[in-house]
Structure 1
Amino acid sequence: MTTQSTSSLLRWLIALSCLLPFLASPVEAQQLPAPRDTSFTVYSAFIKAKKNNPAISVARPTLPSTVQAKMNLTYCTIGNRNLQLDIFRPIANRKKGYPAVLFIHGGGWRSGDRLQHVPMAQQLAAVGYVTVTAEYRLSTEAVYPAAVMDLKAAIRWMRANAKAYAIDTTKIAVWGFSAGGQLAALLGTTNDDKTLEGDACYPSHSSSVQAIVDVDGTLAFIHPESGEGNDSKGPSAATYWFGASKTEKPELWHQAGALNHVTGATPPIVFINSSVDRMHAGREDMIKKLDAFHIYHEVHSFPDAPHTFPLFNPWFEPTLKYTVAFLNKVFKVK
């Protein structure tokens, strides 16, 4: 064998040795991230909403000078998947820490992006909150309850890293829009529910939250007011998320409705809603349950607003004000 042939053979063997671990590894470890569904973006929502609201504009306030940002932090690794978040906090140090808020984006559990609520998170940080915008696995990647478990892991991460980011671990809230509102309400009503907890990251820390901001998120999937699960023209967004229709696995659809988990331990909640009633299905029934347990709640509505109102002016600022006023009240922030 010539020297050149020996060299070529050696290179081939080295290349093969690099591939062997992947060839021998489980199928799950070889999977690439699912293609991202970009059907719901701020731009697409703007074009749609502008048809009936020509005066609106995308809310893009600048990052306040009093706020520090850290982007693209991994909060949990599941298999070979790194779940990431962004965090915003007041630059000034505070010995006892600041109340914190986890922001959850919408998009039908299938689309959307955590960056969509960075403007709101930044503005809330400017008034004395540590805010986090986290991604979670969408239905193109993992079905229910993966997203719930991911977000509970994000809350555990916040507690595990409380000292580094000046978080008061006794005052953590969730803020969610649309599908994110549904998730926020479910997270808050299932504090300490082991069936939805997951144990992928920081299992020694609590995922409990002390306040809920539900911005146009459904409270019940199987309910007279709900529009979720209509598969007459093909699988609905919720059907994709659950991996089954509501007639096939109604127990999952019931489990995901915050309405079905209200107890005396449910934290205070504010509902901030558009004019689209089906987006907050189950709200009145939930309020009846909250009243029975004497749990504090607020309702704020924008009668002429489209579903995507928190992304746009003129609704961005009043949504922020309702959020701040509610959180200041329940967390006793002066």
Structure 2
Amino acid sequence: MNKFMILLLLLVTPIILFSQDKPPEVPDGYSSMTTMKIAYFFGTLDLMEKDFPVPDDVKEYKDIVYKTIDSTKLKLDIYHLKNISKPAPLLIFIHGGAWKKGDKHDYLRYLVDYAQKGYVTATVQYRFTNKAKFPAQILDVNAAVIWLKQHADEYHINRN
């Protein structure tokens, strides 16, 4: 009996050790997992679907200037349901890029998706490190948050 158990254990162990889970699904906005990995390897994740159509039930406010500094206009975009009836929670999307690259439109698909779920969503532009020394980027995002708080009523944002 012991020999049988040892043999069974020897046969089953490699199967358990080398079995793999199903590969993860390709995230929305990427054409395939391979193209996403290639883009990641080369440091360009422009594969996000930036031209994602904004559906008719979502109100879009584009390129609102929230701060001007050294003649540079910093902008933000806001999205919410057209038929919004009361103030809704705000989700602010800050694009990736280590403060040196990226675009506020990178996550348009997600901005729209959360707006359709009843949130107010905003995405902000900030100065890159090649134009303004860190922590200017943090200060830019902070200025956007302050601006959004000041204009909460206008864009149906819940202040709480």
TM-score with structure 2 setting the length: 0.68
Tell whether 2:88 aligns with 1:124.
no
1:64 and 1:126 in contact (8 A); partners too: no
Alignment correspondent of 2:153: 163
* Aligned-partner Cα distance in 2 for 1:147–1:58: 23
Tell whether 2:37 aligns with 1:49.
yes
Residue 65 of structure 1: how far off its partner (Å): 2.3
Runs of 4+ in 1 over 3 A off after TM superposition: 57-62
Q: Which amino acid aligns with 1:162?
A: A
Tell whether 2:129 aligns with 1:142.
no
Mark the CA change 1:91 to 1:48 in structure 2 (over 3 Å): closer, same or farther: closer
Q: Secondary structure at the match of 1:98?
A: coil
Mark the CA change 1:102 to 1:58 in structure 2 (over 3 Å): closer, same or farther: closer
* Aligned-partner Cα distance in 1 for 2:37–2:102: 16
For 2:92, which of 102, 114, 120 is the aligned residue? 102
Alignment correspondent of 2:56: 65
Q: Secondary structure at the match of 2:89?
A: strand
Alignment correspondent of 1:75: 66
* Aligned-partner Cα distance in 1 for 2:76–2:57: 20
- Structure with the bigger RCO (C-alpha within 8 Å, sep 6+) is 2
* Aligned-partner Cα distance in 2 for 1:58–1:149: 26
For 1:91, which of 82, 85, 96 is the aligned residue? 82
Mark the CA change 1:51 to 1:67 in structure 2 (over 3 Å): closer, same or farther: closer
2:66 and 2:75 in contact (8 A); partners too: yes
* Aligned-partner Cα distance in 2 for 1:152–1:129: 20
Alignment correspondent of 1:133: 123
> Between Structure 1 and Structure 2, which shows a larger proportion of helix residues?
1
* Aligned-partner Cα distance in 2 for 1:81–1:63: 27
TM-score with structure 1 setting the length: 0.34
Identical columns (%): 30
Alignment correspondent of 2:27: none
Q: Which amino acid aligns with 2:80?
A: R
Question: Which 10-residue stretch deviates more, 78-87 or 126-135?
Answer: 78-87
| Count of aligned pairs between the two proteins | 123
Gap runs ≥5 in structure 1: 1-41, 171-334
Mark the CA change 1:142 to 1:125 in structure 2 (over 3 Å): closer, same or farther: same
List per-residue Cα deviations over 1:304-331 (Å, max 9, x = no partner): xxxxxxxxxxxxxxxxxxxxxxxxxxxx
